[in-house]
Amino acid sequence: MSDDSVVVTGGAGFIGSNLVDRLLDVGFRVTVIDDLSVGSMSNLECASKYGSQFAMVRQDITSAELLDVMEAVKPRYVFHLAAQAAVRHSMSDPMFDARVNILGSLNVIESSRRTGVERILYSASGGTLYGEPDPSRFPLTEVNKHQPLSNYGVSKRAVLDYLGAYRAIYGLEYVALALANVYGPRQDPHGESGVVSIFAGNLRSRQRCVIFGDGNQTRDFIFVADVVEAFIQALHAGDGEVVNISSSTETSVNELYWEIAKIVGSSLEPEFLAGRVGELGRSCLSNKKAREILGWKPQVSLSDGLGQVIDWISSQG
Ligand SMILES: NC(=O)c1ccc[n+]([C@@H]2O[C@H](COP(=O)([O-])OP(=O)(O)OC[C@H]3O[C@@H](n4cnc5c(N)ncnc54)[C@H](O)[C@@H]3O)[C@@H](O)[C@H]2O)c1
């Protein structure tokens, strides 16, 4: 095991690739394990400039060969971000979702144990973990009951149990960051998630946006660079904990829409369609524990973060 060697599963994806850039910048040797099912090599263009400090292995986390890769790399830390990350896909194909998110994660955890990994940093889903509790409990702290209401929420949550068991049985340390709604550069504007990228992409090219429901549903938007810093802080704090990483602020989809419209100078009205079944009405996670345990707090305001997304989309041509 090398002291500065880390693996980032899902490192070619939106959050993972932003994390990879930061890890390389602070001097880690980074190996990305990603099957490129969603992520892309274009997200790793900056990373590729780091020469031998960076390696990319195209590998499915559910495969038996994952152990060979882990044995060759012998990382000290594993940032586990690879996942089937779409709630709707988890509802249309629950078996696939469970295979990647539960069996794939278990494969990552077991390979980590076998190769002497010191710590796993896991990207849990704060938006789905607590189901839909009474908004009088907002912002939701980590003591709220885990009661996910989607297959994706269930599969992401199941990994917390495995991490807890491996810690108790084998002493494999972990921190689970329960991420709110992450947005930022490299989020796929063509995908079904990432409402920020979708609105920003459409409004920039003067296309009408669709809002499902009345737009009063709220989300807790957190900028990707803030999430990356939380992962860095969690290298040395938060042992065995689930920690929300959030803005602790509720923003409605309508507010988000008009904030982006203002930045791009559009007055186009959105189109409202029927709300989607199973969509959360409101979401807001407390970040008190992250402040106390990780010494972390969000640094990027929504308007600054949205500005960075729009700059990034513009730079893509
Ligand atoms: N984006 C958010 O708002 C958010 C919120 C909470 C939690 N998360 C979690 O953060 C992580 C990263 O999310 P993201 O938004 O960057 O998603 P993403 O889809 O951009 O990244 C996921 C990456 O995992 C890879 N991957 C998928 N299946 C794989 C497999 N079987 N083997 C190897 N690689 C595989 C994909 O190619 C992709 O690069 C996920 O675990 C997701 O559940 C994201």
- Give pLDDT tens digits for 270-303: 999 998 876 778 999 999 999 999 999 999 999 9
High-pLDDT (> 70) share of the chain, %: 98
CB environment 107-139: b (16+ within 10 A), e (fewer): bbbbbbbebebebbbbbbbbbbbbeeeeeeebb
Q: pLDDT class for 260, splitting at 50, 70, 90?
A: very high
Q: Which residue has a Cα nearest atom 43 of ligand 1?
A: 85
Q: What is the pLDDT of residue 192?
A: 59
User: Is a pLDDT exceeding 70 seen at residue 1?
Assistant: no
Q: What is the pLDDT of residue 2?
A: 57
Mean pLDDT across the chain, nearest whole number?
95
Please tell me whether residue 177 adopts helix, strand or coil conformation.
Answer: strand
Q: Is residue 127 part of a domain?
A: yes
Q: What is the pLDDT of residue 3?
A: 77
Mutation test residue for ligand 1: of 37, 222, 223, the one with most atoms within 8 Å of CB:
37
**Tokens, residue 211:** 């809002």
Q: Is residue 255 part of a domain?
A: no
Task: Give the nearest ligand 1 atom to 39 CA.
Answer: 39
Mutation test residue for ligand 1: of 42, 106, 123, 128, the one with most atoms within 8 Å of CB:
123
**Tokens, residue 169:** 């049985």
Could you give the number of structural domains in the chain? Answer: 1
d(Cα 93, Cα 96) in Å, to the nearest integer? 6
Q: What is the pLDDT of residue 278?
A: 67
The arithmetic mean of pLDDT across residues 242-249, rounded, is 98
Task: Give the nearest ligand 1 atom to 82 CA.
Answer: 24
User: Is a pLDDT exceeding 90 seen at residue 180?
Assistant: yes
CB environment 252-288: b (16+ within 10 A), e (fewer): bbbebbebbbebbebeeebeeeeeeeeebebbbbbbb
User: Is a pLDDT exceeding 60 seen at residue 132?
Assistant: yes
Kindly list the catalytic residues: 152
User: Is a pLDDT exceeding 80 seen at residue 248?
Assistant: yes
The arithmetic mean of pLDDT across residues 164-184, rounded, is 98
Q: Which residue has a Cα nearest atom 9 of ligand 1?
A: 123
The whole-model pTM stands at 0.97
High-pLDDT (> 90) share of the chain, %: 91
Q: Is 35 in the pocket of ligand 1 (CB under 6 A)?
A: yes
d(Cα 109, Cα 78) in Å, to the nearest integer? 9
Segments forming the whole domain that contains residue 46: 5-184+221-248+286-299
Q: What is the pLDDT of residue 188?
A: 86
Ligand 1 geometric centre to CA of 254 (Å):
26
Q: Is residue 57 part of a domain?
A: yes
Please tell me whether residue 287 adopts helix, strand or coil conformation.
Answer: coil
Q: Which residue has a Cα nearest atom 30 of ligand 1?
A: 60
Helix 253-264 with 302-315: angle, nearest 10 deg: 50
Q: pLDDT class for 193, splitting at 50, 70, 90?
A: low
Q: Is 237 in the pocket of ligand 1 (CB under 6 A)?
A: no
Q: Is residue 67 part of a domain?
A: yes
Ligand 1 geometric centre to CA of 37 (Å):
10
The CATH number assigned to the domain holding 56 equals 3.40.50.720
User: Is a pLDDT exceeding 60 seen at residue 104?
Assistant: yes
Q: Is residue 196 part of a domain?
A: no
The arithmetic mean of pLDDT across residues 100-117, rounded, is 98
Q: Is 62 in the pocket of ligand 1 (CB under 6 A)?
A: yes
The arithmetic mean of pLDDT across residues 55-61, rounded, is 98
User: Is a pLDDT exceeding 80 seen at residue 169?
Assistant: yes
Q: What is the pLDDT of residue 191?
A: 62
Closest CA to 79 of 19, 18, 127: 19
Q: Is residue 225 part of a domain?
A: yes
Ligand 1 geometric centre to CA of 64 (Å):
20
Q: Is residue 272 part of a domain?
A: no
pLDDT in tens, 9-32: 999 999 999 999 999 999 999 999
Q: Is residue 191 part of a domain?
A: no
Mutation test residue for ligand 1: of 35, 87, 155, the one with most atoms within 8 Å of CB:
35
